[in-house]
Amino acid sequence: MTPRRRQRMVFAGIVLAGVAVAAVLSFRAIGDNMLFYYSPTKLRSGEVPLGETVRIGGLVVDGSVTRANGDLTVRFDLTDTANTVAVRYIGILPDLFREGQGIVALGRLGPNGVFTAEEVLAKHDEKYMPPEVADSLKTASAARSAATGPTAALAPESRR
Amino acid sequence: MIPELGHFALILALVLAIIQTVVPFAGAVRRVPAWMNVAAPAAFGQALFQIVAFGALTYAFIVKDFSVLYVATNSNAELPLMYRISAVWGAHEGSLLLWSLILSFWTLAVAAFSRSLPAAFTARVIAVMGFISVGFLLFLLVTFDPFERLLPAAPRGQDLNPLLQDIGLIVHPPMLYMGYVGMSVPFAFALAALFEGRLDPAWTRWTRPWTTVAWVFLTVGITLGSWWAYYELGWGGWWFWDPVENASFMPWLAATALIHSLAVTEKRGAFRAWTVLLAVFSFSLSLLGTFLVRSGVLVSVHAFATDPARGVFILAFLAIVIGGALSLYAWRASQVSGGGEFELFSRETLLLTNNVLLVAAMGTILLGTLYPLISESLGWGKLSVGAPYFSMVFIPLMAPVVLLAALGPLVRWKRDHLGALVKRMRAALGVSIVLGTALMLMASAPVSMGAAIALAGALWVLSGVLHSLWDQLRNRRSKWQALLRLPRSYVGMTLAHLGIGVFVVGVAAVVVYGEERDVRLAPGETVTLAGYRFELLGVDAHPGPNYQAERGKVRVSRNGKPVVVLAPEKRNYPVQGQPMTEAAIDPGLTRDLYVSLGERLGDGAWSVRVYVKPFVRWIWLGALMMALGGVLAASDRRYRAEARSHARAAAGGTLAGAGSMSR
């Protein structure tokens, strides 16, 4: 084997080794870290496995935000205008969190139907609405209009 | 009138960019000097009109012309002047205008500093950069016009996002764009070589300084972004593996691999085809990153459904540039490859391993960033990739890179013996491990495997650097003189590698030993964290120019002695109705104290977040050291001397086969 050919093989070997290591690491890690998104309707219909960390989103129901006295526990309801889920979170809420606003929460659904959130995210686009939430609202209103016949569809995005 | 002038200037810039692309390239192919000489004037004209266009938009912001839609959406009557100017690049359209302007500046710089390069080569380089300019200008004019009018004009404007009303966000995008756009220079150099079908022996020496400077800007831009997120977002985090952050980090990884590959190609002539490919990768990732962030696709894949023109244009542009470049590479790579030979254990092999790891890390980040987009567009469901994925993959891949950083400079080119190296490094290895553990125990920190390994790694880098320095100075009579005479490229490399060590220490300390607590505090109540006592004294109102604020007063003490009084704020910007947290930080070399206000809870109490972050500043310090190292390396004598001697020779009418020796 000429030196040049051996060198080429060394090259190829190192590259393949690097790719293999990266691939193995990636595929193992990504499986554990895929976070699926569900709307309150999907949550209610039992599609979400209990105890698995997922993301849910919806509009914060007006008047549903309650705080326990003495600690940082806060409870509120999330809705996609078709179904509502109760959420419990211990911690400081983000600045953009407010009633009537779309937010996304990361956490687990408990057996009692309450979603315990580990993180509350209020990232948004120019319309102040997380896109996943906007989609869920559209789906819900489309389902409603399909059920009740052609009526003027509700405009789900709140423009603030 | 002025916005229309700006729009017109943009059209003229486009015309000049088209000329800049077509004529010099044809001139290089047909060997017509007159056509090739069109490159520099065309680039100059294009830059001029871009300045006019950018100036027009800035003017519209300064005079609060709310009849321009972009100004109305991003500014406000009460917005202070400083932020009115920085709002120009606060949103998508203006950002891309800035990108385009910076590209015209880099093109001008290349035209100005390339007098010692062959005319045909320079003509091709400028033509390639012109092609990219054409793409951006077309995009701006056809789908992303910052000068679009809003009639009737908005009375007060929607206001700049409060998060952007900050010095960090004034400087961060321009720095980042200087880096992104700067990568187009090695890209253009690579394509020019591929078009020519040969790699000039001096190609590396021309390309290297441009690449290093662009890399420095990218490093500074990313560092600024991280530092800004830390103090402005109020969450104490400095890196979130957010798609926007990843979009800037991927080109940085590729560019770092490129710098190291260029080193091998310059010194030993090896890796030529790889270097060209990495140059194509780096800029492709820059383009991808720019569009990922500025097209709205990260927010929602379906953003394109509302405006398909944008999506189609971006995808087409990316396909043409990246696809075209890679096709050209596939076709012509064999004509630029070839090069020095080396043994299994040599500096070349270590640098190759280093680059493979960097590119692999970049690939895994690319996968994690694009996976949600792919999943959503293929209908697999909306998913996001959690941050732990990135750390789980990135850290194992980068750990060997840190180790190699110390090792590389100590291993000889072409051929070295592993046994001899181990003997040389035995002491350093032992010292790193022992000293690392000892330091940790001395700091009376709870023992952590991860922190120990990280600290040992940083010390390993330090010992490698010291060993290498000793090797340089050992045989000189006057050590001090030799130290001062060390070439800048060497000092730059050393500083940058030391920066890696400093960075690793900062990350490990913050991740392992950082402490955080969310508490409810009423005035007079305290919370203790990591030996520091935080007492909330009270919260009162404080008005600002375009906001209302509630300012808290937190007294921090340690062992009974007062340390600092912090003043965190909760601001409300009335125009957008958006509250914003302004955290209070007591910065320090060995620790940061960080307090941010949550919200008012009844009875005068507030939710408060308190952090103690050890060594967090070392993260950005290390990154700045890397950037400074790059600056030193790029200003090495051999690049300046080469240019000077060529200029002199050219002026004298003879072509000296000059050149200082490369290291």
- B69 CB neighbours in chain A (<8 A) are none
CB contacts < 8 Å between A and B, how many? 113
Average pLDDT over residues B183-208: 92
* Domain parsing of chain A, residue ranges: 1-34, 37-148
CA-closest candidate to residue B195, choices B115, B131, B114? B131
**CATH, range A37-148:** 2.40.50.140
Which of B40-44, B406-410, B521-525 comes out lowest in average pLDDT? Answer: B406-410
Task: Decide if A37 and B384 are in contact by the 8 Å CB cutoff.
Answer: yes
Q: What pLDDT score was predicted for residue B578? A: 76
Pairing type for strands B526-529 and B515-521 reads: unpaired
Are the beta carbons of B341 and A26 separated by less than 8 Å? no
ipTM over 0.85: no
CB contact under 8 A, B234 and A95: yes
Question: Mean pLDDT across the stretch B425-438?
Answer: 82
User: How far is A79 from A81, CA to CA, in rounded Å?
Assistant: 5
Q: Please report how the helices B347-377 and B387-407 are oriented relative to each other, as an axis angle in degrees rounded to 10.
A: 170
Mean pLDDT across the stretch B13-30?
Answer: 95
Contact at CB, A30 and B607, closer than 8 angstroms: no
- Checking if the pLDDT of B660 tops 50, the result is no
Q: Which of A108-122, B119-133, B192-206: highest mean pLDDT?
A: B119-133
Do B598 and B607 meet the contact criterion of CB atoms below 8 Å apart? yes
Which residues lie closer than 8 Å to B471 by C-beta, 6 or more apart?
A: B410
Q: Which of A25, A35, A131 sits opposite B393 (nearest CB)?
A: A25
Q: Characterize the bridge pairing of strands B383-385 and B569-573.
A: unpaired
Evaluate if residue B354 carries a pLDDT over 50.
Answer: yes
Q: Say what the pLDDT of residue B659 is.
A: 40
Distance CA B652, CA B465 (A): 43
Q: Over range B83-106, report the average pLDDT.
A: 91
The yes-or-no verdict on residue B493 having pLDDT over 80 is yes
pLDDT at B651: 58
- Among the residue ranges A130-139, B386-395, B520-529, the one predicted with the least confidence is A130-139
pLDDT tens, position by position, A56-101: 988 899 988 888 877 889 999 999 888 999 999 998 888 878 888 8
Contact (Cβ atoms closer than 8 angstroms) between residue B231 and residue B611: no
pLDDT band at B232 (very low <50, low <70, confident <90, very high): confident
Interacting residues of A88 by C-beta distance below 8 A, sequence separation 6+: A73, A74, A75, A114, A115, A116, A117
* pTM of the model as a whole: 0.90
CA B248: distance to chain centroid? Answer: 6
Nearest CA in chain A to B388: A33
The Cα-based distances of B111 to B38, B43, B214, B359 in angstroms read 11, 8, 16, 31
- The answer, yes or no, to whether residue B658 has pLDDT greater than 50, is no
- pLDDT tens per residue, range B299-308: 655 555 556 6
Residue of chain B whose Cα is closest to the Cα of A15:
B356
Q: What mean pLDDT comes out for the span A15-21? A: 90
How high is the pLDDT of residue A85?
92
Cα nearest neighbour of A33 on chain B: B386
Give which of B501, B469, B492 is closest to B482, Cα–Cα: B469
Do the Cβ atoms of B626 and B496 come closer than 8 Å?
yes
Sequence-ordered list of residues with C-beta below 8 angstroms from that of B78, at least 6 positions apart, any chain: B545, B546, B575
Q: Which of A66-80, B76-90, B388-402 has the highest mean pLDDT?
A: B388-402
Predicted confidence band at B646 (pLDDT cuts at 50, 70, 90)? low
Judged by CB atoms closer than 8 Å, whether chains meet at A14 and B601 is answered as: no
What pLDDT was estimated at residue A154? 42
Do B382 and A4 make contact, defined as CB atoms within 8 angstroms? no
- The confidence score (pLDDT) of residue A67 equals 86
Which residues in chain B are closer than 8 Å to A7, comparing Cβ atoms? 341-342
Test the B interface: residue of A2, A34, A93, A159 with most B CBs within 10 Å: A34
Highest mean pLDDT out of A147-151, B372-376, B626-630: B626-630
CA distance B329 to chain A (A): 18
In a 13 Å sphere around the CA of B122, the CA atoms on its Cβ side amount to 22
pLDDT of residue A84: 92
B393 pLDDT above the threshold of 80: yes
| Cis upstream peptide for B152 (omega within 30°) | yes
Q: What is the pLDDT of residues B287-302, one digit of tens each?
A: 999 888 877 676 655 5
Q: Is A96 on the interface with B (CB under 8 A)?
A: yes
SS3 at position A77: strand
Q: Measuring CA to CA, how many Å separate B653 from each of A120, B640, B646, B647, B657?
A: 70, 20, 10, 10, 13
| A127–chain B Cβ distance below 8 A for any pair | no
In the predicted model, is pLDDT for residue B663 greater than 70? no
Question: What's the average model confidence in pLDDT over B612-630?
Answer: 96
Local confidence band at A156 (pLDDT 50, 70, 90 cut-offs):
very low
pLDDT of residue A129: 62
Distance from CA of A17 to the nearest CA of B (A): 9
Confidence of residue B16 (pLDDT cuts 50, 70, 90): very high
**Cβ density class B540-554: b for 16+ within 10 Å, e for less:** eeeeeebbebbbbbb
- Inspect the interface and report whether the beta carbons of B388 and A3 lie closer than 8 Å: no
Nearest to B382 among A14, A37, A91 (CB): A37
Using a pLDDT cut of 90, give the percent of chain B over it: 52
Instruction: Please list every residue in chain A whose beta carbon sits closer than 8 Å to the beta carbon of residue B365.
Output: none
Range B171-183 average pLDDT: 94
CB contact under 8 Å between B397 and A22, yes or no, is yes
Q: In what order do the strands lie in the sheet with B606-614?
A: B515-521, B606-614, B591-600, B584-586
Judged by CB atoms closer than 8 Å, whether chains meet at B385 and A30 is answered as yes
* A31 interfacial to chain B (CB closer than 8 Å): no
Best of B352, B369, B382 to mutate (most A CBs within 10 Å, chain A) = B382
Quote the mean pLDDT of chain B. 88
Give residue B24's identity as a one-letter amino acid code. Answer: P
Identify the residue among A10, A11, A16, A33 best suited for mutation to test binding to B, counting B beta carbons within 10 A and taking the highest: A33
- Chain B, nearest residue to A66 by Cα: B601
Residue B611, both tokens = 């952090």
pLDDT digits over B514-538, tens only? 999 999 999 999 999 988 999 999 8
Domain ranges of chain B: 1-160, 399-510, 515-617
